[in-house]
């Protein structure tokens, strides 16, 4: 009898501590489904004749989000016209673009799995943010290494930004046009994360031009929302750091914070400082050479994550409405 009581106590305690460690972002999505159409514009145009290009172009104008036409005009720097299909045909048959498209074909066998991860991410987000729209279309189209773009109902992404490192076509691009740090981050595993991040930024946040501290906290909110889309992901995936960069950031969190305080940067509205601490790049200017970039984003994520750990009843929409100073004042480095 005594052994049975001991066994039951162990079960109770293990269940209690497990519940204490429950991930609040790991919500039930079994009842949530999303319907996202994935359209590969590159494949349609890559080997098409001029007549086929014209036909497909008009089909895309009729069937795709207006984002398609916007991207085409941006890439080709050409206005909408009856002859736009000719410019599209020349673009996709240029030697350099053909080489990019061939290199991107190595990603095609992985797209189905990646798309499933995108769908799952938006299922999680739709539970946390019930009023947030879900993209109806995700369009693969050559963007010449530019950012992912989002409209009200669609997203466009250039797979050339995820060509495996060391590919011949990348080696032919001058490093002044595609930096080494950019090449190092061309990892297909981040396609779902990058799509979710851009969608979150556009549909849940307004652009601000405030003090650095407010930008840091907003960046932290964005990363926490990304964490909600991928609740089982490791920290390095959420912040898009290598394991070494994340270790450095965690070990030097106090030092980075002390630097911002000492230099009185937190409450200044200085574009250079915001770029140094928030934008992607090879490193964070002003800190040691081995310091990774985007340390302002990292600090914001740490602030928000700790705040949410202490306020478990707070929903994500409520978090987004919180004034930055409320989170900043509660920030403590362990």
pLDDT score, position 21: 55
Q: Which residue has the higher pLDDT, 286 or 295?
A: 295
Q: How confident is the model at residue 196 (pLDDT cuts 50, 70, 90)?
A: very high
240, pLDDT greater than 70? yes
Angle between helical axes of 84-93 and 67-76 (0-180°, round to 10): 70
Sign of the alpha-carbon torsion through 224, 225, 231, 237: negative
Q: How confident is the model at residue 209 (pLDDT cuts 50, 70, 90)?
A: very high
Q: Which residue has the higher pLDDT, 14 or 70?
A: 70
Q: Is 307 within 8 Å of 327 (Cβ atoms)?
A: yes
Q: Is 100 within 8 Å of 142 (Cβ atoms)?
A: yes
- Please give, one letter per residue, the 3-state secondary structure of the chain: CHHHHHHHHHHHHHHHHHHHCCCCCCCCCCCCCCCCEEEEHHHHHHCCCHHHHHHHHHHHHHHCCCHHHHHHHHHHCCCCCCCHHHHHHHHHHCHHHHHHHHHHHHHHHHHHHHHHHHHHHHHHHHHHCCCCCCCCEEEECCCCCCCCEECCCEEEECHHHHCCCCCHHHHCCCCCCCCHHHHHCCCHHHHHHHHHHHHHHHHHCCCCCCCHHHHHHHHHHHHHHHHHHCCCCCHHHHHCCCHHHHHHHHHCHHHHHHHHHHCCCCCCCCHHHHHHHHCCCCCCCCCCCCCCCCHHHHHHHHHHHHHHHHCCCCCHHHHHHCCHHHHHHCCCCC
What are the phi and psi torsion angles at 108 (to 5°)? -55, -40
Cα–Cα dist 254/132, whole Å: 35
303, pLDDT greater than 50? yes
Cα–Cα dist 184/23, whole Å: 31
pLDDT score, position 14: 42
Quick: pLDDT tens for 129-171. Answer: 999 999 999 999 999 888 899 999 999 999 999 998 888 999 8
- Mean pLDDT, the chain, rounded, equals 92
Q: Which residue has the higher pLDDT, 7 or 246?
A: 246
Average pLDDT on 93-98 reads 94
Average pLDDT on 280-299 reads 95
pLDDT score, position 147: 84
Ranges 16-20, 124-128, 269-273: which has the least confidence: 16-20
pLDDT score, position 40: 97
20, pLDDT greater than 50? no
Q: Which of 114-123, 160-169, 279-288 has the highest mean pLDDT?
A: 114-123
Q: Is 302 within 8 Å of 253 (Cβ atoms)?
A: yes
2, pLDDT greater than 70? no
pLDDT score, position 10: 42
220, pLDDT greater than 80? yes
138: left (phi over 0), alpha (psi -120 to 50) or beta: beta
Average pLDDT on 215-235 reads 98
270, pLDDT greater than 90? yes
Predicted TM-score (pTM) of the model is 0.91
pLDDT score, position 80: 85
């Amino acid at each position: 009898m005594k052994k049975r009581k001991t066994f039951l106590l162990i079960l109770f305690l293990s269940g209690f501590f497990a519940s204490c460690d429950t991930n609040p972002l790991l919500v039930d999505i079994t009842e949530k489904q999303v319907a996202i159409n994935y359209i590969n514009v590159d494949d349609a145009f890559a080997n098409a004749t001029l007549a086929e290009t014209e036909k497909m172009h008009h089909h895309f104008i009729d069937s795709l989000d207006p984002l398609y036409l916007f991207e085409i005009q941006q890439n080709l720097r050409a206005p909408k016209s009856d002859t736009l299909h000719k410019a599209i045909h020349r673009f996709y048959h240029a030697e350099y673009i053909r080489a990019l498209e061939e290199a991107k074909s190595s990603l095609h066998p992985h797209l189905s799995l990646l798309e499933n991860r995108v769908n799952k991410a938006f299922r999680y987000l739709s539970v946390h943010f019930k009023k947030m729209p879900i993209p109806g279309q995700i369009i693969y189209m050559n963007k010449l290494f530019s950012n992912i773009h989002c409209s009200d109902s669609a997203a466009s992404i250039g797979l050339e930004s995820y060509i495996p490192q060391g590919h011949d076509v990348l080696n032919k691009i001058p490093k002044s046009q595609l930096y080494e740090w950019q090449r190092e981050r061309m990892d297909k595993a981040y396609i779902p994360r990058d799509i979710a991040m851009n969608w979150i930024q556009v549909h849940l946040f307004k652009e601000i031009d405030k003090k650095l501290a407010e930008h840091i906290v907003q960046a932290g909110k964005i990363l926490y929302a990304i964490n909600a889309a991928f609740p089982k992901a490791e920290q390095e995936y959420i912040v898009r750091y290598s394991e070494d960069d994340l270790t450095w950031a965690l070990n030097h969190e106090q030092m980075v914070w002390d630097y911002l305080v000492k230099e009185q940067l937190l409450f200044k509205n200085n574009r250079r400082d915001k770029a140094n601490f928030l934008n992607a790049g090879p490193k964070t200017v002003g800190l040691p050479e081995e310091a990774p970039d985007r340390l302002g984003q990292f600090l914001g994520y740490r602030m928000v994550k700790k705040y949410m750990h202490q306020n478990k009843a707070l929903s994500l929409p409520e978090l987004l409405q919180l004034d930055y100073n409320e989170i900043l004042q509660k920030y403590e480095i362990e």
